[in-house]
């Protein structure tokens, strides 16, 4: 009995003991810009992302809106400083006929969303609605073109419709539909997931298709010089990247996409969004950490063909993916917990630290779908833990990456190990240093020592996102259960920062002179 009691006490101590993480920041070697577009978002015609999420209709008197888009959503997206927003898909993009979403709304033909629940849509949210929303929130639009079922002419016409000032049939049609000035849309996806729902193509075939479509997507004005994104690989399909880099002329391609989700399994259960086990949590973190491997290896292939790094890597779909009971109009709705905050913090650290090649990304998705930053229910709206992390991290947008070395203990489960603490840092225009830390450890807090070399700093402040349970989340009854708090636990002395980061938490620090 005495041995059992001693074993129990020892186990409790093991759960609470802190581990040591050591970081060195070379503040005088900062030179690479962290492109703000790494903090992009994604809005697909899927479930309640558009209809019943962002868009509630112009005639809705119950929910305050501007041109049918919820005012609370608009305000939240402004707070996030969303740099770009991708639309209309996703898989939906390669079934979407953009001309059905313009003109008088009462005359627009309906369509069946064949990819997500077979829901009938009335096309009331279309090109004008989306591009006007982007203007309101200060985001650059990222239009995903239909290559899977659309024609070259369809895509060329869309470019002309949104970018040609005057003098073409498409510009005349836009003006007739109430928009005199062009939107000058720069970012264009030439298809989506061409290896799957975008056409089940081989990489060789898609490379040729890309060349054909991209040829007819013309720069119309200097203000609308097109940034063309090729449909890239899924996770570890390195052969896809190799084939595209080899076969697409580099002067025709601005960026290459990559998709990777932190999902337990594509064949079996994806697990619950709340009430998951530690085994499921560990597997999700393992999948999230794979982003480091995938970004590194795809970048290495790109370096082989593009050593000057002129072509960007754009991770335009990422996030957590779990089971949902919702179908049709509620497809892929899932709750958002502290686990999702871990995915967000870890992934953004990876992107920041690969800023020399990763120059854009899009979290999937923005409202009510997958790892959403916003959830809505009729007139109610809440901000998720992921929203808070994205907002905490937006200090890195267009800041200068500070090189670092990090030595972190591991988070261990059933004999497997993952790096527990990840970090990234940048210098902003004022010269202040912003440091982000994420501890994915399910059980242990970590003592962190940060050596600041190259410059002298005297002040430190911070914020923390933490909670008492990894499944904690915000609900419409308790919308602020998980929220950001001020963090005063960092101490700065003689160029050394010391703090303790709790288990499954995110901290951002601002260090100034």
Could you give all domains of the chain from N- to C-terminal order, each with its CATH number? 16-31+403-512 (2.60.40.1180), 35-397 (3.20.20.80)
The phi and psi torsions of 351 (rounded to 5 degrees) equal: -60, -45
Residue-level pLDDT at 221: 85
Q: Which of 44, 193, 287, 292 is catalytic?
A: 193
Active site residue 193: yes
DSSP H or E stretch at residue 78: helix 71-80
Predicted local confidence at residue 11, as pLDDT: 37
Pairing mode of beta strands 404-407, 410-413: unpaired
Residue 327 is predicted with a pLDDT of: 67
Smallest CA-to-CA distance from 345 within 512, 502, 187, 141 is with 502
Residues 41 and 470: beta-carbon distance below 8 Å: no
Q: Which of 317, 327, 378, 477 is catalytic?
A: 317
> What's the pLDDT at 283?
97
Query: In a 10 Å sphere around its CB, with 0-12 CB exposed, 13-18 middle and 19+ buried, how is residue 458 labelled?
Result: exposed
Tell me if residue 327 is catalytic: no
In this prediction the pTM is 0.94
Give, for all 513 residues of the chain, the pLDDT tens digit: 434 333 333 333 334 556 799 999 999 999 999 999 999 999 999 999 999 999 999 999 999 999 999 999 999 999 999 999 999 999 999 999 999 999 999 999 999 999 998 899 999 999 999 999 999 999 999 999 999 999 999 999 999 999 999 999 999 999 999 999 999 999 999 999 999 999 999 999 999 999 999 999 999 988 889 999 999 999 999 999 999 999 999 999 999 999 999 999 898 899 999 999 999 999 999 999 999 999 999 999 999 999 999 999 999 999 999 998 676 677 899 999 999 999 999 999 999 999 999 999 999 999 999 999 999 999 999 999 999 999 999 999 999 999 999 999 999 999 999 999 999 999 999 999 999 999 999 999 999 999 999 888 999 999 999 999 999 999 999 999 999 999 999 999 999 999 999 999 999 999 999
Nearest 5 degrees, angle CA 341-CA 345-CA 349? 170
Q: How far is residue 166 from each of residues 181, 182, 315, measured CA to CA in Å?
A: 9, 9, 34
């Amino acid at each position: 009995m005495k041995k059992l009691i001693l074993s129990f006490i020892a186990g409790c101590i093991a759960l609470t003991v802190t581990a040591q993480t050591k970081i060195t920041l070379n503040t005088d070697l900062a030179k690479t810009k962290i492109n703000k577009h790494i903090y992009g978002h994604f809005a697909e015609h899927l479930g309640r992302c558009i209809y019943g999420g962002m868009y509630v209709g112009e005639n809705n008197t119950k929910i305050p809106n501007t041109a049918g888009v919820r005012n609370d959503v608009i305000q939240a997206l402004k707070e996030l400083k969303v740099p770009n927003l991708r639309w209309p898909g996703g898989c939906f993009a390669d079934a979407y006929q953009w001309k059905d979403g313009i003109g008088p709304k009462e005359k627009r033909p309906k369509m069946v969303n064949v990819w997500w629940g077979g829901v009938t849509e009335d096309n009331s949210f279309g090109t004008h609605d989306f591009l006007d929303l982007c203007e309101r929130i200060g985001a650059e639009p990222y239009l995903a073109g239909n290559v899977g079922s659309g024609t070259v002419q369809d895509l060329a016409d869309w470019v002309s419709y949104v970018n040609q000032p005057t003098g073409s049939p498409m510009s005349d049609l836009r003006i007739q539909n109430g928009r005199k000035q062009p939107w000058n849309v720069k970012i264009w996806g030439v298809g989506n997931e061409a290896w799957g729902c975008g056409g089940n193509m081989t990489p060789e075939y898609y490379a040729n298709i890309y060349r054909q479509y991209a040829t007819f997507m013309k720069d119309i004005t200097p203000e609308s010089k097109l940034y063309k994104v090729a449909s890239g690989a899924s996770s570890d399909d390195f052969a896809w990247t190799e084939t595209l880099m080899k076969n697409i002329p580099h002067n025709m391609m601005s960026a290459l996409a990559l998709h990777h989700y932190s999902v337990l399994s594509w064949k079996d259960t994806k697990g619950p969004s709340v009430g998951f086990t530690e085994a499921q949590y560990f597997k999700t973190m393992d999948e999230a950490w794979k982003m480091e491997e995938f970004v590194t290896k795809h970048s290495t292939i790109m370096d082989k063909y593009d050593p000057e790094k002129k072509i960007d890597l754009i991770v335009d779909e990422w996030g957590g993916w779990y089971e949902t009971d919702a179908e049709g109009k509620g497809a892929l709705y899932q709750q958002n917990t502290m686990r999702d905050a871990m995915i967000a913090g870890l992934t953004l650290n990876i992107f920041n630290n690969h800023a020399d090649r990763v120059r854009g990304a899009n979290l999937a998705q923005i409202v009510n779908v997958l790892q959403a930053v916003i959830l809505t229910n009729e007139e109610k709206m809440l901000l998720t833990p992921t929203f808070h992390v994205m907002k905490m991290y937006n200090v890195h947008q267009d800041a200068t990456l500070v090189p670092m070395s990090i030595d972190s203990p591991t988070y261990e489960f059933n004999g497997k190990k993952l790096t527990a603490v990840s970090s990234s840092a940048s210098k902003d225009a004022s010269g202040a240093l912003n440091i982000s830390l994420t501890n994915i450890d399910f059980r242990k807090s970590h003592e962190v020592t940060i050596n600041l070399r190259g410059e002298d700093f005297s002040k430190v402040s911070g914020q923390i996102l933490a909670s008492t349970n990894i499944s904690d989340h915000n609900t419409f009854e308790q919308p602020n259960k998980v929220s950001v708090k001020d963090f005063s636990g960092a101490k700065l002395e003689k160029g050394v920062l010391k703090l303790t980061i709790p288990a499954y938490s995110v901290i951002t620090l601002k260090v100034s002179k």
